[in-house]
């Protein structure tokens, strides 16, 4: 899907220096199906990402009496998600004598930070490593009126969007609900935003636009975001969360019903020929089918518009005719829409160039004049490869023929 970032071939950071090339360890799944998370070597259970009932159940299974398990679950939940505690010894309303018992069996995890970078524009990027040695990234983008965390859903990517560096990676595995939630927790740690409170936050918004296609990791994304949105959890409103998909049509209605957050769609082209090339998933779920799914998306209205992401590629999808056809399609399906125009962010070996600024402005003007908002997104974090489409945890330069081959393999795996 349209990822927002890239790492190992990153340019030197103004803060932390050059990142060495980093291969992706571990087995690579040939199809986008969940692979069981590897158990921790120390045998402890990570409590991050467990739903309330799951938290109570693991405490009971470990030997606590049912009433005590229920009480402890409530206390631990509060300390984890409201206070940001990572050590049971900090939980002052739990008897000190029980702290070692908890620490022996459980952990309140955070991913390992392999590299943290800060852009000259204030954007922050973290390269994270899971307990089983998998690398993935997240990005925090501060603005005057908001702070947006771009969260990853997979290690690698199921898809092969041709303009996206992350899309040149193979899928390694899905991130767990805990690994999704812990990205938000880690950002809160870094920003000093504990105890949790609704007012005065720097981290105000979340976009599921990092590495991976969220709707091919549906259960974990749903369960992770449920904790993020829980009023007694991280308490971020669903109106401040956006899930972006490249167009996994069969899962879109479920996302609206079971998650209920804002929807963004990586559209990027308005003809079958061009979208088949740059977003190969279009060969499985075409533009018309995708737009109908958008029209049917639960909760979409003028107050909660669907965002259409559109990367501007020179001489590929940026003509006046393309802009007019985009307007026609959005009006045909009566979509409450906003179009984000994204200047293409280059990466080594990329087969495209960015449209000229005046071409992007002309495209934007046509869409605006039709009554549809079409702002041009200002690239952020380019100097640390944290901009849209640049996230990648392995330094690889690939030929066009190789990318074509891998796109065909991924589409065959998707069926």
Measured CA to CA in angstroms, residue 303 lies from 12, 260, 337, 383 at distances of: 41, 14, 10, 35
Alpha-carbon distances, residue 126 vs 14, 19, 38, 370 (angstroms): 14, 12, 22, 40
| CB-CB neighbours of 78 under 10 Å | 17
Name the pairing type of β-strands 124-129 and 135-142.
antiparallel
User: Could you say which of 157, 164, 294, 388 is catalytic?
Assistant: 388
Q: Of these residues, 2, 115, 137, 309, which one is catalytic?
A: 137
Which tokens is 238 given?
Answer: 């669903």
Residue whose C-alpha is closest to residue 271's, from 331, 307, 315, 322: 322
Distance CA 295, CA 220 (A): 25
User: CA-CA distance, 368 to 160, in Å (whole number)?
Assistant: 30
Asked if residues 153 and 217 have their Cβ atoms less than 8 Å apart, the reply is yes
Cβ pair 256, 295 in contact under 8 A = no
137 is catalytic: yes
Round to whole Å and give the CA distance between 336 and 372.
9
- Which helix (H) or strand (E) element contains residue 185? helix 177-191
Cα–Cα distance list, 48 to 64, 178, 277, 381, 405 (Å)? 19, 5, 39, 29, 38
Give catalytic residue positions. 137, 388
């Amino acid at each position: 899907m349209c990822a927002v970032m890239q790492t190992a071939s990153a340019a030197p950071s103004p803060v932390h220096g050059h990142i060495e090339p980093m291969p992706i360890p571990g087995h690579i799944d040939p199809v986008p199906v969940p692979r069981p998370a590897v158990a921790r070597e120390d045998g402890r259970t990570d409590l991050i990402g467990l739903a309330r009932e799951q938290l109570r159940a693991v405490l009971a299974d470990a030997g606590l009496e049912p009433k005590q398990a229920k009480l402890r679950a409530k206390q631990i939940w509060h300390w984890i998600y409201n206070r940001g505690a990572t050590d049971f010894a900090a939980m002052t309303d739990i008897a000190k004598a029980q702290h070692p018992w908890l620490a022996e069996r459980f952990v309140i995890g955070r991913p390992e930070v392999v590299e943290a970078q800060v852009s000259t524009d204030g954007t922050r990027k973290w390269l994270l490593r899971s307990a089983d040695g998998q690398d993935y990234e997240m990005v925090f983008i501060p603005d005057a009126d908001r702070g947006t965390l771009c969260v990853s859903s997979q290690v690698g990517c199921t898809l092969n969007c041709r303009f996206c560096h992350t899309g040149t990676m193979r899928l390694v595995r899905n991130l767990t609900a805990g690994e999704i939630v812990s990205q938000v927790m880690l950002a809160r740690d870094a920003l000093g935003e504990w105890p949790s409170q609704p007012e005065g936050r720097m981290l105000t918004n979340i976009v599921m636009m990092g590495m991976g296609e969220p709707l091919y990791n549906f259960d974990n994304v749903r369960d992770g975001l449920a904790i993020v949105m829980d009023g007694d959890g991280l308490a971020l409103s669903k109106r401040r969360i956006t899930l972006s998909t490249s167009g996994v049509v069969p899962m879109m209605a479920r996302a609206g019903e079971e998650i209920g957050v804002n929807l963004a769609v990586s559209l990027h082209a308005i003809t079958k020929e061009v979208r088949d090339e740059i977003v190969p998933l279009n060969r499985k779920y075409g533009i018309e089918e995708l737009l109908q799914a958008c029209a049917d998306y639960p909760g979409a209205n003028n107050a909660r518009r669907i965002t259409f992401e559109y990367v501007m590629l020179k001489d590929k999808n940026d003509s006046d005719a393309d802009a007019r056809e985009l307007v026609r399609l959005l009006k045909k399906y009566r979509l409450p829409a906003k179009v984000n125009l994204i200047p293409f962010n280059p990466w080594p070996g990329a087969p495209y160039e960015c449209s000229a600024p005046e071409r992007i402005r002309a495209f934007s003007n046509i869409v605006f004049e039709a009554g549809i908002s079409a702002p041009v997104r200002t690239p952020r974090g380019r100097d640390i490869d944290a901009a849209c489409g640049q996230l990648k945890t392995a330094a690889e330069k690939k030929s066009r023929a190789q990318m074509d081959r891998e796109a065909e393999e991924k589409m065959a795996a998707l069926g």
